[in-house]
Amino acid sequence: MSAKPAAAATNVIEVERVLAETHHPAFQLMLLVLCGLCLVIDGFDAQAMGYVAPSVIGEWHVSKAALGPVFSASLFGMLLGALGLSVLADRVGRRPVLIGSTFFFALAMLTTPFVTTIPALIALRFVTGLGLGCIMPNAMALVGEFSTPVHRVKRMMLVSCGFTLGAALGGFISAALIPAYGWRSVFWVGGAAPLLLALAMLVALPESLQFLVLKGHNERALRWLAKFNPMLPIDANTRLVVREKGNDGAPVAELFRAGRGPVTLILWAISFMNLIDLYFLSNWLPTVMRDAGYSPSTAVLVGTVLQTGGVVGTLLLGWFIERFGFVRVLFVCFAGAALAVSTIGTVAHMLPWLLIVVFAGGFCVVGGQPAVNALAGHFYPTALRSTGIGWSLGIGRIGSVIGPLIGGQLIALNWSNASLFHAAAVPVLCSALLVIGLAAATRQRGRPSEPRTA
């Protein structure tokens, strides 16, 4: 009787170890460029209505107040997109949601030049916002999941910098397009660019390996892993494992299980408080500076310095966090933000000092928000990462709506500049105090490390 052939041995590969040991700069650069361009275009399109507003008002003969709901519709759409589509990404994957959302808001932008009424514009900006809102959580999650723990925070913050960069570049591009081709050209460009990017992502954007393994898609994970490291010994008997556990429950509910509840609530509160200040400063700082006696060009310069500080802050805070940890850096960041913002009104009549404190405020407030998003991406496991970032950012976006409204009310009450910015310092001071609570909450739990096989 002949012997029965022995079963082929299973070749087990740990995904995290491959990511840590593989040096593939071209693949990482491709991922950073695709996700970074997503956020650059996201920032451009999110601010597009602000660029064209004066031209629309002049052509349609409507009041400035008539465009208020248009701005709010976009923010509300982004809020819902961050909350809803980030959850979808933890169900079906980062790749399909990123590509689908980019196609979606590209088509919405390309449709915008054809509208002729304020109600139609409100509806279309809301729809566009739905697509825009989920870009940042998923781009950051995907970059984080292809990074080792040593570089994860820095890379997530680097790619998130694209949003601020896109918003700033959009101003220069619109300033060149509108006089030559009219306000509709901003939407043509703002729609064509993401359409081309979506096609490029369809070809080259990878899916998260950890996500695929946790969902049991071993063959798809192996195909992407072979592209990431062609030298791996992969065959029909290869099985991939990850160190994390999957979650079978509703993603949002899972944010409050396994001891994650306190950290989740604190992250939401920090994001909410910081975005109150971020959008108050972004919307009202140039206006307040014009009322303080500066020329329109100087007032715009002050607003530009705020965003420039945010870009520098985003780049440097990731480096500091990798060396000193989230808690220390975020506490110093938000405490510094409170000091800088509270000083703006006091030094408003001294331009050099004004530019210094506004830059510092941008560094801490605008630059601090990507750090909070990166903290969410670092804290939550793969199965909840997109939901965790998306809901932290989505709840925070409520603050983005409230901040400009509160600022408008205080300005209408004729508060002095000193009092106005003292009040504006309160939310970021609350964020600094919440970071202390975050330190206590994170000490109470650890993250699971058991492998999960596909």
Domains detected in the chain: 9-242 (1.20.1250.20), 244-454 (1.20.1250.20)
**pLDDT by residue (tens digit) across 84-107?**
888 888 889 999 999 999 999 999
447 pLDDT higher than 50: no
Q: What is the distance between the alpha carbons of residues 429 and 422, in angstroms, rounded to a whole number?
A: 11
Instruction: Please provide the distance, in angstroms rounded to a whole number, between the alpha carbons at the two ends of the chain.
Output: 37
What's the pLDDT score for residue 3? 47
Give the residue among 85, 84, 105, 110 at the shortest CA–CA distance from 41. Answer: 105
**pLDDT by residue (tens digit) across 215-229?**
888 888 888 888 888
Give the residue among 110, 102, 96 at the shortest CA–CA distance from 130. Answer: 102
Give the residue among 28, 98, 87, 382 at the shortest CA–CA distance from 212. Answer: 382
Residues comprising the chain, all counted = 454
Share above pLDDT 90 across residues of the chain, in percent, rounded to a whole number: 36
Task: 304-308: list long-range contacts, CB under 8 Å, 24+ apart.
Answer: 304/168, 305/355, 305/358, 305/359, 305/362, 306/281, 306/282, 306/358, 306/359, 306/361, 306/362, 306/366, 307/164, 307/167, 307/168, 307/282, 307/362, 307/366, 308/168, 308/359, 308/362
316 pLDDT higher than 80: yes
- CB atoms < 10 A from the CB of 449, how many? 9
Does residue 94 contact residue 207 with C-beta atoms inside 8 Å? yes
**Confidence label for 454 from pLDDT (cuts 50, 70 and 90):** very low
351 against 287, higher pLDDT: 351
Largest alpha-carbon pair distance within the chain? 101
What's the pLDDT score for residue 247? 65
65-84 in b/e burial notation, b at 16+ Cβ within 10 A? Answer: eebebbbbbbbbbbbbbbbb
400 pLDDT higher than 70: yes
**Confidence label for 246 from pLDDT (cuts 50, 70 and 90):** low
438 against 57, higher pLDDT: 438
What's the pLDDT score for residue 149? 76
| pTM (predicted TM-score) | 0.81
What's the pLDDT score for residue 356? 95
Highest mean pLDDT of the ranges 21-25, 158-162, 207-211, 333-337: 333-337
**pLDDT by residue (tens digit) across 247-260?**
665 678 888 988 88
What's the pLDDT score for residue 449? 36
